[in-house]
Amino acid sequence: MDNHILQEAARTYNTPCYIFDLDVFISRIRRMEQILGKQVNIYYAMKANPFLTAAAAQAAGGLEVCSPGEYAICRRARVPAQKIVLSGVNKEESHIRSVMAEQGAGTYTAESLNQLRLLEACAGAAGRTGVRVLLRLTSGNQFGMDEEDILASIRNRDSYPHLDLAGLQYYSGTQKKGMEKIEKELVKLDSFMDFVREHLDFEFRELEYGPGFQIPYFEGQEQADEEILLQEFKKALDSLHFKGIIFLEAGRFLAAPCGSYLTRVADVKRSQGQNYCIVDGGINHVNYYGQTMAMKVPAYRYIPQDNPVRPPASQTSGDRWTVCGSLCTSGDILVKNLPLDGLMTGDLLVFDRIGAYSVTEGIYLFLSRKLPVVLTCTQEHGLSLVRDALPTDILNDGSAMEIYQSQSNS
């Protein structure tokens, strides 16, 4: 995304704002498909960025949906039911009954034996048979089931006459460096599926796996060659005994590089020998995985604006600034000691590689500041407004409930 687009966004829609490049997002899906081959279907984990849902429905094989709210977004985006994998550690009975009644999901995951019984009960109540279910294997946390519970569910599969125990799901976390851990996980999954085949006379037809490829965010982090990484991953997949359908769950890896966050310098000052830059955004909008006390420098750009009183560069060379947001907390620091020669109010700062999670993970309700503008960008259509700036004060004020309800109904 070039600076001209970013400056146009600032002029037309003001700051702060997110800009998501849909062409980049779709091209990343296409490239993964091209390298990994037809055996692998790319599924987008929409928790990474729900504003990419419609684009993902167009380009990806499916979407991983983890809450009633995410499901509602998919329905409004007219995502075909067969492309929805309804996942999540907490499945609410009323929601599952509603989804099954309208045949709104193609696949469900089961994270416990209780969830498996819930899916069976809801499928029976809806008169559905052959409801596709993926059994989630735990990686040692609150998600998924132990091997023993999965084996028990397969042994007792006659207890679930309305369900089709189609496959296995596994995801152990994000930001994995290199292939070593991924290869170990694939060997583990392959061995487990071999055991099920040999000892329980049961064949998993599908495997959904989340590799958790790393996205480097900060200066000094090694940038892996994604082409080589994906080729090595394909070799690991090809070596599996399992020859069924593979669904590759990816969120951060697909979304992070397609997003930028644009914020404007609102004030500059010097205090006790330190230069401070105050921007109109803050940590309520910018959230990089692995950032610690603003000590790491993320991918950023500095775009000075026309200002006739800007001092010559020779007078400001070497200036370093601590970039702070608009929140009334000493923790609202985006980055420390950033070299920004000649910085002045009105200048723009761009934080790149922010297409995943920041748009939803920030502490958005703190101080009742507005939610930032969300834009998408394509080469064909340019900038498009997806969400205008939204007030949050009505969410933090019980006396404003009538206003909130009227806006919700409109």
| pLDDT, tens only, 47-74 | 999 999 999 999 999 999 999 999 999 9
Percentage, residues of the chain above pLDDT 90: 88
Residue 404 has pLDDT above 90, yes or no: no
Residue 280 has pLDDT above 90, yes or no: yes
Beta carbons of 56 and 49 less than 8 angstroms apart: no
Q: Which of 258, 277, 328, 377 is catalytic?
A: 328
Q: Is 96 helix (H, G, I), strand (E, B) or coil?
A: helix
CA nearest neighbour of 64 among 80, 42, 84: 84
pLDDT-derived band at 223 (thresholds 50, 70, 90) equals confident
pLDDT at 293: 83
Residue 321 has pLDDT above 90, yes or no: yes
* Cross-strand partners of 248: 42, 209
pLDDT at 362: 87
Tell me what the pLDDT averaged over the chain comes to: 94
Q: How far is CA 321 from CA 254, 274, 282, in A?
A: 32, 7, 15
What architecture does CATH give domain 21-254? Alpha-Beta Barrel (3.20)
Round to whole Å and give the CA distance between 373 and 302: 20
| pLDDT, tens only, 159-186 | 999 999 999 999 999 999 889 999 999 9
CATH of 258-393, one of 3.20.20.140, 2.70.98.10, 3.40.50.300, 2.40.37.10: 2.40.37.10
pLDDT at 157: 97
Q: Is 258 a catalytic residue?
A: no
pLDDT-derived band at 401 (thresholds 50, 70, 90) equals low
DSSP state of 380: T
| pLDDT, tens only, 81-128 | 999 999 999 999 999 999 999 999 999 999 999 999 999 999 999 999
Give the DSSP H or E segment for 126.
helix 113-126
Q: Is 100 helix (H, G, I), strand (E, B) or coil?
A: helix
Residue 376 has pLDDT above 90, yes or no: yes
Any idea where the domains of the chain sit in the sequence? 21-254, 258-393
Give the DSSP H or E segment for 70.
helix 68-76
pTM for this model (two decimals)? 0.94
* CB neighbour burial string for 297-310, b if at least 16 within 10 angstroms, e if fewer: bbbbebebeeeeee
| pLDDT, tens only, 144-156 | 999 999 999 999 9
CA nearest neighbour of 255 among 6, 3, 41, 42: 42
Round to whole Å and give the CA distance between 80 and 38: 21
Beta carbons of 375 and 22 less than 8 angstroms apart: no
348-352 and 107-110 strand pairing:
unpaired
Beta carbons of 36 and 233 less than 8 angstroms apart: yes
- Residue 8 CB burial class (10 angstroms; 0-12, 13-18, ≥19): middle
Residue 398 has pLDDT above 90, yes or no: no
Tokens 């958005």 — which residue?
364
pLDDT at 224: 86
Give the DSSP H or E segment for 118.
helix 113-126
Structure tokens at 170: 């596994």
